[in-house]
């Protein structure tokens, strides 16, 4: 079981990762406001991940209070950056499709590297 200290290191490592990946590598035509929104979304997604919540559009909209369009715009940019992977699954009613997201494996590898550097 992870200690509170390691949880804090991992949370700080995620913040550093998000700032580097998003602020230091802007996408052509992207606004500063969009980049800040992505950093905030990364923190929310990480908290959801830690709580074992599914990263679906509906759940993100429910938690953030953002519009569907606002969430889609932000999530699409995080997918484009390679930070998130997107899959289509069944919605809660089992009839339609639901967009689901997960962190790309490289994200957690980056967090481990930052966390190990912080321990030394």
Q: What pLDDT is stored for residue 47 in this prediction?
A: 92
Q: What is the DSSP letter of 28?
A: T
Which fold, 4-119? Arc Repressor Mutant, subunit A (1.10.10)
Angle, vertex CA 82, rays to CA 80 and CA 85, nearest 5: 95
The pLDDT-based confidence of 120 (bands split at 50, 70, 90) is low
The pLDDT-based confidence of 14 (bands split at 50, 70, 90) is confident
| Residue 66 pLDDT > 50 | yes
Distance from C-alpha of 41 to C-alpha of 78, rounded to nearest angstrom: 9
The pLDDT-based confidence of 1 (bands split at 50, 70, 90) is very low
Cβ neighbors of 67 (< 8 A, separation 6 or more) are 61
Distance from C-alpha of 39 to C-alpha of 3, rounded to nearest angstrom: 25
| Residue 85 pLDDT > 80 | yes
Of the chain, the percentage scoring pLDDT greater than 90 comes to: 61
């Amino acid at each position: 079981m992870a200690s509170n200290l390691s949880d804090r290191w991992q949370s700080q490592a995620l913040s550093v990762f998000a700032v580097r990946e998003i602020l230091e590598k802007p996408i052509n035509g992207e606004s500063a406001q969009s980049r800040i929104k992505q950093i905030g979304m990364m923190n929310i997604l990480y908290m959801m991940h830690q709580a074992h919540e599914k990263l679906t559009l509906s759940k993100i909209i429910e938690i953030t209070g953002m519009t569907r369009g606002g969430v889609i715009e932000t999530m699409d940019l995080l997918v484009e950056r390679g930070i998130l992977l997107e899959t289509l699954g069944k919605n809660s009613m089992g009839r339609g499709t639901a967009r689901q997201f997960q962190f790309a494996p490289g994200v957690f590898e980056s967090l481990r590297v930052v966390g190990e550097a912080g321990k030394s």
